[in-house]
Structure 1
Amino acid sequence: MLLSHILVGVLRTMLLVDRPILLQGHERSLTQIKFNSEGDLLFSCSKDHIINVWFSHNGERLGTYDGHNGTVWTIDADSQSRFLVSGSADNELRLWNVSDGKCLYVWEFPTAVKRVAFSDDDERVVCITEQRMGHQCVIRVFKLNRDGDGTTQPEHMFSPIGSKATVCAFTYTPNLIITGHESGKIALFDVVTGTEVLNNERAHMDVVTDLQLSADRSYFVTSSKDKTARIHDTKTLRVLKTFATETPLNSAALAPNKPYVLVGGGQEAMQVTTTSLRQGKFETRFWHKVFEEEVGRVKGHFGPINTIAVHPTGTSYASGGEDGFIRVHHFDESYFRVKPYGDLQLED
């Protein structure tokens, strides 16, 4: 498409970001970062057992959530920024009060908690526990007591048959969750019955490393060790777009109000000790989600990018790396002036 190549050339020259804010609050590799729904707070977790919360506009650290005794793999905050949930290698799921950092409740499991996510109504939390030491991978759904301290017991639990789940999220349909699996499969599960409603066995060819939903949850993006990121339809699980790279991907995110997908990853650290920064592919890469063309790259990390999050209003994004640093980039004016569809104007 001639038009797409012309636009990509324009975008490559105009996709600019301001000098990043460097957040130095972790001593080991980042595992996940998340903005709250307003975008004023940024939560981060790491292999150093610590969860931090920051002001996203200036990088000031507000405080920490201390209590885990292992790598904190995953975090999520509800839409009101009242509760935070976290999952760790210490086999615990913890519920926190965001405002004062108090741990409200601890659920203990036989294996590590690898992924947590709130439902869109904030009433429930889904978590995945690891398949290890003779224990199956288990998906549990908790209904929170929002009128009290939030504590509750599992409402539903089941074990996926076949490949273990690695990532999950609630869909816009009640009682339906999306899961990504070690085999590359994407599936929809009914949490009440534990049945697999639909699947796409060939969504990816390797481990699904990240899953992030669009604002209306009608589609979602995944990243994989198979070196691709893909956009899928939530209802049918059909692959809509594919973004192929030459490096394993650890995270993918959707830019609100702009047709861009952000992806990050890189070769494992032990494989790039003798290569240059550029050869390691330690860059956040921007792709046009319609034309499937790469439109820009942002360098900075000194190791693989493990996690990417975009501000809910699309004004900035953050990346967390194997190097232990979080880099917050605010887009400059040229990013908002560029016309990603040429003179064609699309209504939101």
Structure 2
Amino acid sequence: MRPLMLQGHERAITQIRYNREGDLLFTVAKDATPNVWYTINGERLGTYDGHRGTVWSVDVNWDSTKVLTGAADLSCKLWDCETGKVINTWDTKSSVRSSNFSYCGNMINFTTDRQMKHEPKICIYDIREPSDSEPALSFVVDTKEMSKPMCSLWGALNEYLITGHDDGTMAHWDLKTGELLHSVREHTALIKDMQLSSDQMMLITASKDKTAKLFDAPSLNLMKTYKTDRPVNSAAISPIRDHVVLGGGQEAMDVTTSNLKEGKFDARFFHLVFEEEFGRVKGHFGPINSLAFHPNGNSYSSGGEDGFVRVHQFDESYFDFQFEC
């Protein structure tokens, strides 16, 4: 499994995202310049210039016409995917941690951090409205009851919003009123990443408590737990096999004190149902910060603290492999 090495960022990767067809891969990092790549050959198609700080999140709408980014420069930006021009900028009081398009692509949401005495907020906008219009929904997260949100996702059919928080809590929010519908706390530490399955019925989370957990997305009922010996920064569900991939490793601040093997920076594959590990892929020289399966399931990509994105095409042996019960 020889990977394509994508080197277009000067600092650590924060998130990677495929478009729906899988021909494009969007990457953001701490260097303030989102990139877009052709997945077939690893050629860089272009960059989106305009942020002035770390870009924490990226998303692309269903027809690959618009790109959404959230950054530490106190802004969330909507871009024209083809030209790289900024369509709209939403200024915030604190860093934008997560940002997502709704399934239909007409709505966006982004969450902000708790900074400079500003409480974390969840904002939802209809991007068909004028750029200076009020948000469709905006509410402050009460940090006395719940810590700040670190990641967010739209639920199936855009009926609710799912958030993961830095105390290990997950929550459902009503998209009409902003009311907290229900919450669970199955993790004991910060939730770094959440990703839905291709049918949006299952949700996998990655946490600093050294586990990834599989939930039923509509109910947030815990179904499976994948245990490791390192913090988990990202996890993804295969669209074609009963497999999940986990990535993480030793904390970035401690990377220089250990060698590659001790840091444990490899991607780990687990069986979705049996929770057993069956494979590892090495290569990064730092923690893996983001993982994503290609929509056709034939490959996956990883972005690391080393600033590299690695696109791995699966060998035939991967598809022939049958897990022994």
TM tier, shorter chain? over 0.9
SS of corresponding position for 1:273:
helix
The answer to whether the 8 Å contact 1:33/1:307 transfers is yes
Correspondence for 2:314 among 331, 335, 347: 331
**1:296 equivalenced with 2:282 (yes/no):** no
SS of corresponding position for 2:199:
coil
The answer to whether the 8 Å contact 2:103/2:157 transfers is no
TM-score by structure 2 length?
Answer: 0.96
**1:56 equivalenced with 2:34 (yes/no):** no
Correspondence for 1:109 among 84, 89, 92: 92
Cα deviation code 1:150-171 (max 9, x no counterpart): 8854110112222111111011
The answer to whether the 8 Å contact 1:49/1:70 transfers is yes
Q: 2:75 & 2:180 partners in 1: Cα distance?
A: 26
Correspondence for 2:140 among 155, 159, 166: 159
TM-score by structure 1 length?
Answer: 0.90
**1:182 equivalenced with 2:166 (yes/no):** yes
- 1:143 deviates by 1.0
In structure 1, the partner of 2:2 is: 19
In structure 2, the partner of 1:193 is: 177
Cα deviation code 1:199-228 (max 9, x no counterpart): 112x20000000000111111100000000
In structure 2, the partner of 1:243 is: 226
Would the alpha carbon gap of residues 151 and 63 (structure 1) be closer, same or farther in structure 2, given more than 3 Å must change?
farther
Amino acid at match of 1:319: S
In structure 2, the partner of 1:42 is: 25
Q: 1:214 & 1:341 partners in 2: Cα distance?
A: 23
Correspondence for 2:270 among 283, 287, 306: 287
Indicate the percent of aligned positions where both proteins have the same amino acid. Answer: 46
What do you get for the CA RMSD once the two structures are aligned? 1.5
Q: 1:112 & 1:274 partners in 2: Cα distance?
A: 30
**1:273 equivalenced with 2:245 (yes/no):** no
The answer to whether the 8 Å contact 1:104/1:151 transfers is no
SS of corresponding position for 2:263:
coil
**1:169 equivalenced with 2:153 (yes/no):** yes
In structure 2, the partner of 1:7 is: none
**1:82 equivalenced with 2:65 (yes/no):** yes
SS of corresponding position for 1:50:
coil
Amino acid at match of 2:198: A
Task: In structure 2, list runs of 5 or more residues that go unmatched.
Answer: none
The answer to whether the 8 Å contact 1:145/1:151 transfers is no
Correspondence for 1:255 among 196, 214, 238: 238
Correspondence for 1:119 among 58, 82, 102: 102
SS of corresponding position for 2:318:
helix
Amino acid at match of 2:85: K
- 1:173 deviates by 4.4
Cα deviation code 1:105-142 (max 9, x no counterpart): 11101101000011111121110011111111000011
SS of corresponding position for 2:257:
coil
Amino acid at match of 1:180: G
Amino acid at match of 1:54: W
Task: In structure 1, list runs of 5 or more residues that go unmatched.
Answer: 1-17, 343-348
Q: 1:286 & 1:209 partners in 2: Cα distance?
A: 18
In structure 2, the partner of 1:346 is: none
In structure 2, the partner of 1:6 is: none
> Matched residue pairs, number?
322
SS of corresponding position for 1:278:
helix
- 1:94 deviates by 0.4
SS of corresponding position for 1:272:
helix
